[in-house]
Amino acid sequence: MSENLTLAVARHAAATSCDTLPSDVSERAKQIILDEVACAYFGRRSLAGDLGARYAAQFGGPAEARIYATGQRISAPYAALANGAAGHGEEVDGAHIVGGHPGASIVHAAVAMAERQRSTGAELINAVVLGYDVGTRVVEACGKLYGVKNRFGLNSDFLYTLGATSAACRLLGLDPVRHCHAMALSTFQSNALVAFYAEKRHISKSFCNGQFAFTGVSAALMAVAGLEGHEDILGAAYGVLHAWGEEGKRDAVVNGLGERYAVMGANFKLVNAGYPIHAPVEAALTLVAKHGIKVDAIESIYVGMPTNTMKVVDGRDMHNICLQDMLSAALVQGGLKLRESPFPEVLADPAFTRLRPRVSLRGDPDLDRDQPDGRGAVVAITTVGGATVSLRVDHPRGHSKRGGLTWAELAGKWHEGLPECDVDRMIALAQRLEDVEDVTELLDAFKARG
């Protein structure tokens, strides 16, 4: 096989090792693994999480990997599917500066394969770092989240399938040629039309993340079984970049591999709401606290966002991805919680019904200039007395450009979110994951206390 773009990625993948990762990269990967697994345990209660588990359990197979929070073990691909769907089921899973939710697919593919292989914690860390490096670079080469959406009507998360596949291949120890075949075999198993954003109950949007995790595991296993695909599915005519790539961005797939690590661009969520909502809520709550503004004294609220981001959360039917609903609820209730949704109870609150129509959302030209794909917001609150105060938040808490989260902050998130679990033990094991001989030790720590 001659040198090609896919082979360059596969050769890099085969040479990766946890031992060579910078300490901050390894640390961030451990936080991502802990957070994403916890998100899936938390999201098992969602409709998508429950239906995904029921669906996957029908197929049984060898007891290779667990469906989180069920006590069931099934084949690794279907475990990845169920856990990935649950991982995004409650909108508390991580995001990325390139766009979308890589963790809900890449981490659950890697964990399911690691459990199947009885991999070490160090091997899992390396696989997750690799998966993010491959997946986010392909998304970047295709124009990031909004480039893919606006040009093709596709949610760019489907490209994280390639990252999930690379993670699974590394855990299987595939040679570069088989790795190339696996990446090709993954491409016909996933897709994601943006129309799913308009669904009523967040089921298929969550299920897609599970499907991408499933695809990563199954494609790697197909390659082991001898199935083949095009040797350069990334760079070939009518391959990935031919179909979806942005002009002049081909080199983004390999630029900085082994030097710049994509996990450092991972963002963490602290409340159960669509990610573009986090900065406006933070800004509004900061303003009312700083200036002593009572909710009944608010005449109007202006929220400005990058136009691309604004379109995702403007007047949506699902409460937790609707800016107007979540911001109004946050102000009425003094904040948002991870575990408890304000809906539907808050709909009957007169303060909510008064405030909700007073929220206006617009694309902000300054944010369009400074961060067209960003998650920042500017909020201006005008009181009944005519005074106006405003605040711009460029990056919400947990964003990589604000340093992500500390271990203490992650512990606080999951003490609230998973009170039935021994969160301190989960955190302690995740912090020393590179020394864990079998990843099942970490996963066992998530079991609810009796």
49, 423, 113, 36: which is closest to 268 by C-alpha? 36
Which residues of the chain fall short of a pLDDT of 50? 1-2
Give residue 197's pLDDT. 82
Q: What is the pLDDT of residue 202?
A: 84
Task: Quote the pLDDT of residue 318.
Answer: 87
Contact predicate 134/261, CB 8 Å: no
pLDDT, residue 47, reads 95
Which class would CATH give 275-393? Answer: alpha beta
Beta carbons of 9 and 254 less than 8 angstroms apart: yes
Q: How far apart are CA 80 and CA 207, in angstroms?
A: 11
The count of other CB atoms within 10 Å of the CB of residue 343 is 14
Burial of 392 (C-beta count, 10 Å sphere; 0-12/13-18/19+): middle
298-305 and 359-363 strand pairing: parallel
- pLDDT score recorded for residue 55: 97
How many residues does the structure list for the chain?
450
Would you state the pLDDT for residue 201? 86
Q: Which of 335, 283, 331, 285 is nearest to 305 (CA)?
A: 283
Count CB atoms within 10 A of the CB of residue 13: 24
Domain positions in the chain:
5-270+402-444, 275-393
CA distances from 249 to 241, 245, 254 (A): 9, 7, 10
Q: Per residue in 263-320, pLDDT tens?
A: 999 999 999 999 999 999 999 999 999 999 999 999 999 999 999 999 999 999 889 8
Residue 204 to residue 157: CA distance in whole angstroms:
13
How confident is the model over 34-46, as pLDDT tens digits? 999 999 999 999 9
- As a whole number of angstroms, the distance between CA 407 and CA 381 comes to 34
What's residue 2's pLDDT?
A: 43
Interatomic CA distance for residues 282 and 448, integer angstroms: 32
Amino acid at 331: L
C-beta of residue 203 within 8 angstroms of C-beta of residue 47: yes
Q: For residues 278 and 161, is the Cβ–Cβ distance under 8 A?
A: no
Q: Enter the CATH code of domain 5-270+402-444.
A: 1.10.4100.10
Residue 103: alpha-carbon gap to chain centroid:
4
pTM over 0.75: yes
pLDDT of residue 450: 67
pLDDT of amino acid 143: 96
At residue 200, the 3 state secondary structure works out as coil
